Amino acid sequence: YLSKLFFPLLQLIFGLGLLTIFIYGIYKFTIDFKFEILIQGILFLSFIGFFSFHLIYNFLYYIKIFRFKGNFITVFELHKLKTTKINYNEIQGFSTSEVYFGKYLWKCNSIVIYTKTKKTIEILSNHNSSYKKIEQKLKKRKIKYYGFEEYNTGWYFREYKFNGK
């Protein structure tokens, strides 16, 4: 099941555009140095750098391609540039959830797959074209459904509710 391309590409293009502005700003700032605009320049470039980093990071982190073959699910994760093959027997269960981008900005549905080795794989509806089909395939294979879990943020990454089950 391939990823949706419109939204992630929009994120990547916008993030690269902001990154270009960030790099140009640093270049321009070093050539035309004026002490009066030092603080304003640092704040502006920090904001653009932070925002572009998050857009590019979300693009890389959430792109996943799924394939169901026989008794295995193969998952290609773009941020790792790696394909993982998971046997259905290795899957502990799955849950549905929501992912929030910004506190009130927007959210999307997700499926969280838990393996017996404590690995979690999250599939976002905005980044996968066959989001509902994946959920149906997991239910058809009689993989345990844990229910809905709330979105809980940890210090750096999301904390998953059913990881300790």
61, 79 contact by CB (below 8 A) = yes
Helix and strand element counts for the chain (H, E): 3, 9
Rounded CA separation 17/14 (Å)? 5
97, 110 contact by CB (below 8 A) = yes
Q: How confident is the model at residue 165 (pLDDT cuts 50, 70, 90)?
A: low
Query: pLDDT for 33-87, tens place per residue?
Result: 666 666 666 777 777 777 777 777 777 777 888 888 888 989 888 888 889 899 9
Mean pLDDT throughout 150-157? Answer: 73
Q: Is 69 helix (H, G, I), strand (E, B) or coil?
A: strand
Mean pLDDT throughout 138-161? Answer: 83
Q: Is 80 helix (H, G, I), strand (E, B) or coil?
A: coil
Q: Residue 69: what pLDDT?
A: 87
Instruction: Say whether pTM exceeds 0.85.
Output: no
